[in-house]
Structure 1
Amino acid sequence: MNSEDMHNHSIMVVDDEGVIITQLEEMLDSLGYRVVAKASAGSDAVRLARELHPDIVLMDVVMPGEIDGITACGIIQSEMDIPVVLLTAYGDERHVARAKAVHPYGYILKPSQNDQIRATIEIVLEKKDMERNLDGMVSGLRHTAEDRRLQLKEIHHRIRNNLNMITSLLALQALHSRSRECVDALQAVRSRVVTIARIHERLHAADSAETIDCAGYFQSIADAQARTTAVAGRVDVRLDCGEFHLEPDKVMPMGLILNELVSNALRHAFEDGRTGEVRVGFARSGPGYELQVSDNGSGLPVSLNPETSGTLGFELVRSLVAQVGGFMAVDRGNGTTFRISFPA
């Protein structure tokens, strides 16, 4: 610490003996520090600290009145964030234990040498400067994090509103369309957008979580499909997967895959008015996971190969399976079963 830095720092000296105060003031002046206040009682020290806010306080432990040096140290440090160095001729266990309880920045036993006091003051002031710099950095990071949180909240709000607007427009267009094929296509697109919106809500709620609980989310997709298709009431959709978690980057593609496969089964496997069920299973499979969607309906036409079909639904499924690094298998016995395996 150079001479200019010393003159920029103010010190308050507190001792019940005037001779000691004079000696300390002369010594500090010779070292280049500014003594801006002197007090002989703990209550006066607290009052002057509030008024003048010095950079550091040198305080005797034993003081007259109800507020001794240790009590005054606790008040000044906790309420005014001013570092206090305690000076005392008492090094017994009782005084040391009381001093530790208020966490002074320094504790010097009398009689003390000028070099010892100077070194202690420099260390304390340097430590306090570092603490303030650190507090400023932490405060800046908190503001940055809060700004980011508010920005993400605003982005989420806009995305949610835009997705809701899209689903409303698709539903409105479907109501005004006369072609059955057009209505079905619009409803399929709307279903995909709704699924994306649900995924977006899950991701926003999870915030920075490493994995996301998807059981309830998958159930909501299956339930929504069961309610909104023509087979509602005669085909059950059952979910058998328990609680499971996925990484955020897998939640979106797997949710869309589930939506496509359940929708496809409900729309095509029970067209002849039969009753039945669609089962959804999800479980660990070796080092990865396996999603199963099966139905006991009429089964896929022999001429239809999901792995090469050019329909939008199967093209989307194949693209999403590739996105998660998985593969798809199809079992045509007693209805149809799709198995989507992908790494953890």
Structure 2
Amino acid sequence: MTGDGPEAYKNFDLNFLRARIHPEDLKIFLEKYEKIQACGGIYRTEYRFRKKNADYIYIEDNGVCLKDDKGNLKRIIGTIKDITERKKAEETISSIEAVRKKEIHHRIKNNLQVISSLLGLQVEKFKNREHFENPEVLEAFRESQDRVISISLIHEELHGCKGSNELNFSPYLKKLVENLFQTYCLGEVDISLDMDLEENIFFDIDVAVPLGLIVNEIVSNSLKYAFTGRNKGIIRIKLCREENGEFARKVPENKKEDRKSEVPNFIITVSDDGIGLPENFSVESSDTLGLQLISILTDQLDGTLELKRDSGTEFVVRFSATEKE
């Protein structure tokens, strides 16, 4: 494509392209065109172009803008290439990849649901034994079932995301916690739930799974132990980007050496107004599997864990993660 002088190019070539470029691509093309007119230099763009028979093809447009001594556009020299076949191949590959991911998520979700069902059947089997008197075994099975369900819910959400590997975390978290409230029927105890979850936070599966399990463990412990001897209580959960939260940018002392150059950009807090933990309690030295998991999974996220005991119990997890679009 060549044109002598700014008016020749503007009045002839640009009008021609306006009429032929796909309406969805025209705005981006014009923005780039205005920029190269003002700044000159090399450009590259892609757009759909309508042929005489009304069919659209994909065009790759490469060129260089030459200006005269006064800075006016003198000539645009470039090449236009039909890349329709390449685009079709890319779309086919993308479609196959999306279907493959969807199938993988679907199979994993189904397998996890089978495992959860088997654990549930095992619990019922022990319950029905006349002389079985070990509630710890039943509790261990139920806790394992909750953990499997937590991971299964992630794959269920991903299965509905058009093959994407990114999870909109707040809706998933809401579903997870509501499921836990249904699982732990507390009889006469009235436990309310207060969730303050920032919208449109997307994590990939490597972040979503450990973070979901952390919340699963903390909320489960609150539901089981925090309200013993009480008839009322509340569990609060907050998730936010750190710049949008009300928390100081603070790294606990025991993590400072490992994280001098890194500031967490997400915070999740889970708290209750229950009976609280003993003053000398430490998550790291706890011998319970659930609390050990919280510590291990926080380290897996390269995060920091803070425990507060003011008017109940509060866990604060700060972590860094590349947020997905």
* TM bin (shorter chain): 0.5 to 0.7
Higher RCO structure, 1 or 2 (CA under 8 Å, sep 6+): 2
- Is the 8 Å Cα contact of residues 102 and 162 (structure 2) preserved in structure 1? no
The separation in 1 between residues aligned to 2:185 and 2:278, in whole angstroms, is: 20
Runs of 4+ residues deviating >6 angstroms:
none
Q: Name the structure 1 match of 2:95.
A: 146
Contact (CA 8 Å) 2:274, 2:313: kept in 1 or not? Answer: yes
1:162 to 87, 111, 119: 111
> Which position in structure 1 is the counterpart of 2:177?
222
- Opposite residue 89 of structure 2, the aligned amino acid is G
Pairing 1:118-197 to 2, within 5 Å after superposition: 131=82, 134-177=83-126, 178=132, 179-197=134-152
- The one-letter amino acid of 2:138's match is V
Is 2:272 the counterpart of 1:317?
no
2:231 aligned with 1:239: no
Identity %: 31
Is the CA contact 2:169–2:201 (under 8 Å) kept in the aligned structure 1? yes
- The residue type equivalent to 2:110 in the other structure is N
User: Hey, what's the Cα distance between the residues in 2 that align with 1:288 and 1:263?
Assistant: 26
Deviations 1:1-37 (A, max 9, x none): xxxxxxxxxxxxxxxxxxxxxxxxxxxxxxxxxxxxx
Q: TM-score, normalised by structure 1?
A: 0.58
Deviates more, 1:326-335 or 1:195-204: 195-204
The answer to whether structure 1 residue 336 and structure 2 residue 309 are counterparts is no
SS of structure 2 residue aligned to 1:176: helix
Distance 2:116 2:153 in 1: 12
The partner residue of 1:326 within 282, 303, 306 is 303
Is the alpha carbon distance of 1:143 and 1:301 closer, same or farther for their aligned partners in structure 2, counting shifts above 3 Å? same
Task: Report what 1:276 is aligned to.
Answer: 233
**Alignment partners' CA distance in 1, 2:228 and 2:95:** 53
SS at match of 1:305: coil
Question: How far off its partner does 1:74 sit?
Answer: 4.0
Answer with 1 or 2: which has the greater Rg: 1
Cα deviation for residue 244 of structure 1 reads 4.2
Matched residue type, 1:199: I
The aligned amino acid for 1:262 is V
TM-superposed CA distance for 1:206, in Å, is 3.5
Q: Which string of whole-angstrom CA distances, capped at 9 and with x for unpartnered residues, describes residues 201-252 of structure 1?
A: 2233335768643222111122111111142652122212242403213222
SS at match of 1:170: helix
> Could you list the per-position Cα deviations for residues 15-61 of structure 1 after superposition, in whole angstroms to 9, with x for gaps in the alignment?
xxxxxxxxxxxxxxxxxxxxxxxxxxxxxxxxxxxxxxxxxxxxxxx
Give the residue type in structure 2 aligned to 1:190: Q
1:305 counterpart = 2:282: yes
5+ residue gaps, structure 2, are 1-50, 58-79, 127-131, 244-263
CA distance in 2, matches of 1:209, 1:246: 11
8 Å Cα contact 1:253/1:324 also seen in 2? yes
What's the RMSD between the two structures over aligned residues?
2.8
Distance 2:52 2:222 in 1: 72
Asked whether the 8 Å contact 2:267–2:317 carries over to 1, the reply is: yes
Distance 1:210 1:180 in 2: 39
**Secondary structure of the structure 1 residue equivalent to 2:229:** coil
Asked if structure 2 preserves the Cα contact closer than 8 Å seen for 1:226 and 1:236, the reply is no
Q: CA deviation at 1:340?
A: 0.8
Give the Å deviation of 1:146: 2.5
TM-score, structure 2 normalization = 0.61
Q: Is the 8 A contact 1:230 1:267 kept in 2?
A: no
Aligned pair partner of 1:252 in 209, 214, 217: 209
Q: Give the drift of 1:297.
A: 1.0
Query: For this pair of structures, how many residues does the alignment match?
Result: 222
1:86-97 maps to which residues of 2 (within 5 A)?
A: none
- The separation in 2 between residues aligned to 1:274 and 1:242, in whole angstroms, is 30
Q: Which letter maps to 1:253?
A: P
1:328, CA displacement in angstroms? 0.7
Paired with 2:282 and 2:89, the residues of 1 have a C-alpha distance of 58
Q: What secondary structure is seen at the aligned counterpart in 2 of 1:219?
A: helix
* CA–CA distance in structure 1, aligned partners of residues 162 and 211 of structure 2: 19
State how far apart, in whole Å, the 1-side matches of 2:237 and 2:108 are. Answer: 29
Any idea what the Cα deviations from partners look like across 1:93-113, whole Å, max 9, x if unmatched?
xxxxxxxxxxxxxxxxxxxxx
